[in-house]
A and B are shown apart, each in its own frame.
Chain A
């Protein structure tokens, strides 16, 4: 139990929920203990293979075999998966030694296998940055990190403590243009890219490495959604939900990285609590239908979750969103219809860091739309 947390052995979890700086496994264990105290039933080593609109689902495991369950409510918390080498069209050979950073993390932190000695990392996502430090600590040499964008997609603290601390260079606006090797990876070529993200001839650099780790994006796991008729959002890749975290299918809720990719586990837990509470109310028949207020990403915003707010008295709404670029010295404005409701000054905003703004539920109940926008000052 605990999902991805069990392989994230570094600290940085729980600052908001527990006001403590915990490692991933410690954060997980606190919740596992709570679950055990509450006497909740659970299954491990079990894979859910089917989910239907009527909330029946099927799981399989080595002990019980194939089991069908009728859920009164279902909460989807399947997490996300990493974009793989196959998804990014790496040009060149197909040798061993190219894998996602999360795969390398699992091998190292759970099984004790260091997947390479001379390593290059493509993509500056947090898992890649964390692995740059982890592999350095375990004796590998990390030669650099290349990032296609002119800014990092990982948290600023990870650039400082995972790369700068070990003098690992970060090549912004760079990508890997060729991988070379017959059975094992032997070298890679990187190049700078122009504004259209096309490699610039003459800027190539070759690195002799045996391993290339990819940290090029996470996608919510949605293996089970299509069958159940759950609608997905094109920008988040996860289900469309309202402020109760309910999908378009009544009684099916979603939270965490399976809904939209998070940087902070604390916010995953908060979402989970909200989804759990709603599911409990659903089971007790307390959820009533209402008109929907749509939430819209305006200028500079990629997406806003939840996608809808119900027009009825409820808890305050936490809007989660990401910006589409690096912004300095801006205001975030929240509009209800076309009236400015709230405005917050921000010194720096980056796509790598999810933002959250809490809005009082009664303040928006008479609106038909809520829009969040970045205003450059």
Chain B
């Protein structure tokens, strides 16, 4: 069965053809780099996404600090994780890359600051 798929890993947005044979082997074409293959395999088994959102910050130039998950998040967990961050409040100064929320919802996923503020 050949499935058409858009790789979302980077903005190049490769349009890929993904073929799975009877033995479950996955063949990918149309991808410009190897990450497209990994994406296609995951999309068929356990789709994951990068999650970026914001948390509240005090004494910063803005009132929200942008953050992202340190690893890709299973699709089904995305909304719950973002909701859980509603309770996080940090205080400036914060350095880009520092962890602002650890092991959120016991998922093992941390959220890190994506800018210094």
Contact = CB atoms under 8 A, between A and B. Distances in A.
Contacts of B114: 9, 22-23, 25-26
Contacts of A314: none
B66 A157 contact: no
Given A23-B68, A29-B116, A112-B56, A159 B6 contact: yes
Nearest to A264: B11
B42 interface: no
Interface residues of A, number: 35
A15 interface: yes
Contact of B11 (A108, A139, A159, A263): A263
Nearest to B54: A109
B44 interface: no
Contact of A347 (B15, B50, B96, B116): B15
Interface in A158-181: 159-161, 165
B110 interface: no
Contacts of A155: 11, 13
Interface of A: 6, 9-12, 15, 21-26, 28-29, 108-112, 134, 137-139, 155-157, 159-161, 165, 263-264, 347-348, 353
14 contacts: A9-B66, A9-B114, A12-B11, A15-B12, A22-B114, A23-B114, A26-B96, A112-B63, A139-B83, A155-B11, A159-B6, A160-B8, A347-B15, A347-B30
* 8 nearest CB pairs, A to B: A25-B115, A9-B66, A156-B13, A157-B8, A15-B10, A110-B62, A157-B13, A23-B114
Interface of B: 6-13, 15, 30, 49-50, 52-54, 56, 62-64, 66, 68, 75, 78-79, 82-83, 96, 114-116
